[in-house]
Structure 1
Amino acid sequence: MTLTRCSLALFVALSVTACEITPKQPDVHDFGLPVGLGSSNNVSVPNIDIDAPKWIWDTRIRYRLLYKSPTKVNFYMLDRWIATPPELFKQQLVAQGKSLRYPLSIKFLDFEQQFDSVKQAKVFIRVSVTAFSNTNKPLATREFQWQRLTQTPDANGAVQGFAVLVQKAVNDIDSWLANLPIP
């Protein structure tokens, strides 16, 4: 009888504990608030077409352990983007772009955190940008890539690193566009 009572007490204790433990919901992140807003004098923003491989259209934060298994893609379980990286990137570009006078086509080629060792990681972005004339003829194409060591080798380091890189990317694309001939 005591074995039955012990089993019943253990079952009740585990059941009560299981009801009280709720799984942690993932934290959601973006690239932060735009540093500066573009002109607000009702100038229309040109069309910006974003293209990316299927795996980049995902809200999970990707990482790769280059030192251990460089072909395996991993995802953080408790951290996600609030929207896909291409959508967040476009939002930052529109909010901050000062020279957005051209229709653009932006193709994401890479967007991930890469671990060189257990204690060292970097974030990496590579895109191809094409500016078009108003008659839809390509004016110029340029491939950009940015990388930055993360302050910490974890999801928070990735989020903070990507926020900094995206600001740099927006500034670099804006500078490149500013040097193109006025349409």
Structure 2
Amino acid sequence: MTSTTLSRCAALATLGAALLLGGCASRNPVSTYYDFGPTPPLAQAAPAKPALPMLVIADANGPAWLDSQRMYYRLLYADAQQSRPYAYNRWNTPPLQLLSQRLKTRIAQSGVKVLATTDAAGGVPLLRIDVDDFSQNFNSQTQSIGQVSLRASLFRGHRLIDQRTFSRSGQTASADAQGGAQALASATDAIAADLLGWLGTLDIPQQ
């Protein structure tokens, strides 16, 4: 075998190894994980007297797809009925847990003492959250929003005091998973403010 032939064989072997490594890398990309980030302060000063002195907030309920770490989006301009997961982007905590914790934090910031269901004392009002939608919706290839919709029900004992549906959307700064995470955090904060306003209007009977 001549030196030229050996050189060609070596070159081909090197190229083959590079392609193999590149193929392995493309099949195993590194996933990126998102959450809501630090909770910003309330836009307005908390009232001197909160709407409720104490409130039990149950963990949010929702469809099974919100109890995983997958990030979902919809292409409204192509097929609004299909919910698609991002291939290599994940929530670091399932959305139901993220949303529950954010709402509890926001309500606590207003001065309400937030209790868990296991710590509740008798007679303390209970807030139940049922999530209907939590997804990134693309209106075009370059524009999307983060959409959050939920039903809030306030109980005292076994008595329903009131129930209301809230829906908020946040415009994404970028048409990707990062933009979606930021927009969904913004929409959740807006709903928390709506919840506080609603709770402040309720006449809660004493037991």
Shorter-chain TM-score: what band? 0.7 to 0.9
Query: Is 1:103 aligned to 2:164, yes or no?
Result: no
Query: Is 1:32 aligned to 2:34, yes or no?
Result: no
Aligned counterpart in structure 1 of residue 195 of structure 2, from 173, 177, 182: 173
CA shift, 1:51, in A, is 1.1
Q: Residues 18 and 151 from structure 1, CA distance in 2 versus in 1: closer, same or farther, beyond 3 angstroms?
A: closer
Rounded to whole Å, the distance in 2 between the matches of 1:113 and 1:142 is 23
1:50 is matched with which residue? Answer: 60
Rounded to whole Å, the distance in 2 between the matches of 1:17 and 1:118 is 29
TM-score, normalised via structure 2 length:
0.74
Q: Residues 20 and 124 from structure 1, CA distance in 2 versus in 1: closer, same or farther, beyond 3 angstroms?
A: closer
Q: How much identity, in percent, do the aligned residues show?
A: 27
CA shift, 1:136, in A, is 2.4
Maintained 8 Å contact 1:112/1:124? yes
CA shift, 1:14, in A, is 4.1
CA shift, 1:13, in A, is 4.2
Query: Is 1:126 aligned to 2:126, yes or no?
Result: no
1:116 is matched with which residue? Answer: 139
Aligned counterpart in structure 2 of residue 159 of structure 1, from 160, 163, 181: 181
Q: What are the ranges of 5 or more consecutive residues in structure 1 without an aligned counterpart?
A: none
Maintained 8 Å contact 1:35/1:96? no
Which of structures 1 and 2 has the bigger CA Rg?
A: 2
TM-score, normalised via structure 1 length:
0.82
- Count of residue pairs brought into register by the alignment: 179
Root mean square deviation of aligned Cα: 2.9
Query: Is 1:82 aligned to 2:92, yes or no?
Result: yes
Rounded to whole Å, the distance in 1 between the matches of 2:171 and 2:25 is 40
2:74 is matched with which residue? Answer: 64
CA shift, 1:61, in A, is 1.3
Q: Residues 20 and 85 from structure 1, CA distance in 2 versus in 1: closer, same or farther, beyond 3 angstroms?
A: closer
Q: Residues 69 and 7 from structure 1, CA distance in 2 versus in 1: closer, same or farther, beyond 3 angstroms?
A: same
